[in-house]
């Protein structure tokens, strides 16, 4: 069955506040009956407060509206994010005064307050879910859409998958990309060939393994799968294989399923603000030029349908190539534009595929525009010739 995704377009007809995105968020909150669902709940609002001098994460104006809705409904709101971002969140405008409720680190100030969930996946044995997330009784997931160097896209899944776990689990999720073997040293015994492979990558994505002089280490984040290294690598020595790239996305789906499993059915809602979408995630600590046109604000009870809808909407417009940092390269123009930017194996749709397989929601959705943009008919009473 198709899930409902509520959407507010970034466009407006009239120059009026009621047609802008914060006002459309109010309409989405109404459509989701959020106030009616949070009475006496401890509501954790998971957002990313960004890092360093980044300014493109979800603006406090939006979060404050959600906080107020929770209070109106008789719930107790708290905002939560990973501890190293909460630490200086005030410098980016996120304070209890601006948001209307406290901001806490998901795993406590020393990153030591978590619940352990055993769910083996490749190199990951257990998952450390932030104590504040699991202690809450209602979850509001408020994500900013942007590109991501490991998986192409960061949205609703990413905000929970990485942002609700402690630092050790976040590192393990990145490391899982190395689980499937991609370097076969027996097929490349000579140092000159290894040097040629390293030097073939214009992005510095392949380096010598720091623990093994005969080993090569691939930084998957920097690899756009251009294939140059494969042209110089001895046959059978190196694989640039989708399985490594997709592992991160499968781990994100598993992580998200663990987080959502700690909430009763109907006790989680998800929002995505798709504005000022940058090439990489907000953890980088700065804001680059937008590489996609603004796509608006989205809300749903179904996290799979929500990210699917954001991806479908952003797939309708091409990458803004003039805004792509010159150190990056567009070598394919097939599929979603974030794939153009990060390479074909970082297909942004993989996470919703894995999420649907885990039963987290449906990729089929009905998109409901909460305030369709009025088309103006410009009629003149008298004929006035244009210049
Ligand atoms: S595929 Fe391209 S980007 Fe990736 S490691 Fe090889 S040369 Fe570098």
Q: What atom in ligand 1 is closest to the CA of residue 225? A: 1
218 and 248, same domain (yes or no):
no
Whether residues 8 and 79 share a domain: the answer is: yes
The answer on 187 and 166 residing in a single domain is no
Distance 254 CA to ligand 1 centre (A): 28
Q: How many angstroms separate the CA atoms of 161 and 146, rounded?
A: 15
pLDDT at 263: 98
216 forms bridges with which residues in the sheet?
Answer: 208
- Regarding whether 83 and 44 lie in a shared domain, the answer is yes
Ligand 1, CB within 6 Å, residue ranges: 200-201, 203, 205-206, 218, 223-229, 240
Instruction: Let me know if residue 140 belongs to a domain.
Output: yes
The reply to whether 98 and 109 lie within a common domain is: yes
- Buried-state track 127-164, b at ≥16 Cβ within 10 A, e below 16: bbbbbbbbebbbbbbbbbbbbbbbbbbbbbbbbbbbbb
Query: Does the residue 375 lie in any domain?
Result: no
Burial tier of 99 (Cβ tally within 10 Å: 0-12, 13-18, 19+): buried
Question: Strand (E) positions, 38-150?
Answer: 42-46, 76-81, 103-105, 114-121, 124-130, 138-144, 146-148
Q: How far is the CA of 43 from the centre of ligand 1 (A)?
A: 44
Same domain, 211 and 360: no
Residues of the chain with pLDDT under 70: 380-381
Q: Is residue 215 part of a domain?
A: yes
The answer on 160 and 43 residing in a single domain is yes
Q: Which atom of ligand 1 is nearest to the CA of 230?
A: 6
Domain holding 74: CATH number?
3.40.50
Same domain, 76 and 222: no
Q: Residue 225 is part of which domain span?
A: 181-240
Ligand 1 atom at minimal distance to the Cα of residue 218? 5
pLDDT of residue 380: 67
Which of 224, 232, 344 has the most ligand 1 atoms within 8 A of CB, as the residue to mutate? Answer: 224
Inside any domain, residue 296: yes
**Ligand 1 pocket mutation pick from 196, 204, 207, 225 by most atoms within 8 angstroms of CB:** 225
Nearest CA to ligand 1 atom 3: 223
Alpha carbon of 250 to ligand 1 centroid (Å): 22
Q: Is 20 inside any structural domain? A: yes
Q: How far apart are alpha carbons 127 and 120 in whole angstroms? A: 9
What pLDDT is attached to residue 156?
98
Centre of ligand 1 from the C-alpha of residue 197, in Å: 9
DSSP state of 20: S
Asked if 39 and 151 sit in the same domain, the reply is yes
Q: What is the whole-number distance in angstroms between the Cα of residue 66 and the centre of ligand 1? A: 43
pLDDT of residue 387: 72
**Which helix (H) or strand (E) covers residue 269, if one does?**
strand 268-274
CATH code for the domain of 227? 3.30.70.20
Same domain (yes/no): 146, 41: yes
Residue 99: partners with Cβ closer than 8 Å, 6 or more residues away: 60, 63, 64, 67, 79
User: φ, ψ for residue 208 (rounded to 5)?
Assistant: -70, 140
Taking the centre of ligand 1 as the mean of its atom positions, its distance from the CA of residue 218, in whole angstroms, is 9
CA of 224 to the centre of ligand 1 (A): 6
Q: What confidence score (pLDDT) does residue 386 get? A: 78
pLDDT of residue 377: 74
| Helix, strand, or coil (residue 312) | helix
* Residue having the nearest C-alpha atom to atom 6 of ligand 1: 229
51 alpha carbon – ligand 1 mean position (Å): 28
Q: Do 133 and 229 fall within a single domain?
A: no
**Which pLDDT belongs to residue 342?**
96
Residue 379 DSSP code: -
Residues 39 and 112 in one domain: yes
In a domain, 382, yes or no: no
pTM: 0.95
Cα(51)–Cα(54) distance, integer angstroms: 6
Among 203, 208, 238, name the best residue to mutate to test ligand 1's pocket (greatest count of ligand atoms within 8 A of Cβ).
203
Domain count, the chain: 2
pLDDT at 383: 74
Of 199, 222, 240, the residue that ends a domain is: 240
79: left (phi over 0), alpha (psi -120 to 50) or beta: beta
For residue 290, how far is its CA from the centre of ligand 1 (angstroms)? 25
CA distance 145 to 223: 21
Nearest of 281, 239, 286 to residue 149 by alpha carbon: 281
List all residues 6 or more positions away from 316 whose beta carbon is below 8 Å from its beta carbon: none
- Asked, for residue 383, whether it belongs to a domain, the answer is no
Is 381 contained in some domain? no
């Amino acid at each position: 069955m198709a899930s409902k995704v509520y959407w507010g377009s970034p466009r407006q007809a009239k120059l009026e506040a009621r047609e802008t995105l914060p006002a459309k968020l109010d309409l989405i909150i109404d459509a989701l009956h959020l106030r009616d669902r949070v009475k006496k709940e401890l509501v954790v609002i998971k957002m990313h407060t960004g890092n360093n001098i980044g300014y493109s994460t979800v603006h406090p104006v939006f979060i404050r509206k959600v906080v107020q809705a929770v209070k109106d409904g008789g719930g107790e709101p708290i905002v939560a994010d990973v501890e190293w971002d909460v630490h200086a969140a005030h410098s980016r405008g996120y304070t209890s005064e601006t948001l209307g409720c406290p901001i806490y680190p998901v795993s406590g100030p020393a990153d030591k307050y978590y619940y352990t969930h055993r769910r083996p996946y490749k190199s990951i044995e257990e998952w450390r879910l932030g104590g504040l997330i699991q202690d809450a009784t209602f979850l509001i997931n408020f994500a900013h859409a942007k590109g991501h160097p490991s998986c192409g896209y960061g949205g609703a899944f990413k905000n929970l998958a990485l942002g609700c776990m402690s630092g050790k689990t976040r590192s393990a999720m990145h490391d899982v990309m190395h689980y499937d073997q991609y370097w076969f040293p027996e097929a490349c015994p000579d140092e000159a060939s290894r040097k040629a492979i390293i030097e073939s990558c214009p992005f510095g994505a392949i380096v010598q393994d720091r623990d093994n002089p005969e080993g090569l280490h691939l930084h998957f984040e920097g690899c756009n799968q251009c294939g140059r290294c494969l042209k110089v690598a001895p046959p059978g020595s190196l694989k640039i294989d989708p399985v490594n790239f997709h592992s991160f996305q499968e781990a994100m789906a598993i992580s998200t399923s663990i987080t959502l499993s700690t909430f009763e059915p109907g006790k989680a809602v998800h929002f995505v603000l798709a504005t000022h979408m940058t090439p990489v995630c907000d953890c980088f600590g700065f804001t680059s030029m937008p590489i996609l046109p603004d796509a608006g604000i989205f809300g749903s009870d179904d996290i799979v349908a929500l990210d699917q809808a954001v991806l479908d909407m952003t797939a309708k417009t091409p990458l803004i190539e003039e805004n792509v940092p010159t150190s990056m390269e567009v070598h394919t123009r097939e599929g979603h534009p974030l794939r153009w930017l990060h390479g074909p194996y970082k297909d942004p749709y993989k996470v919703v595929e894995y999420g649907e397989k885990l039963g987290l929601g449906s990729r089929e959705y009905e998109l409901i525009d909460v305030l369709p943009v009025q088309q103006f008919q410009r009629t003149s009473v008298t004929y006035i010739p244009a210049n």
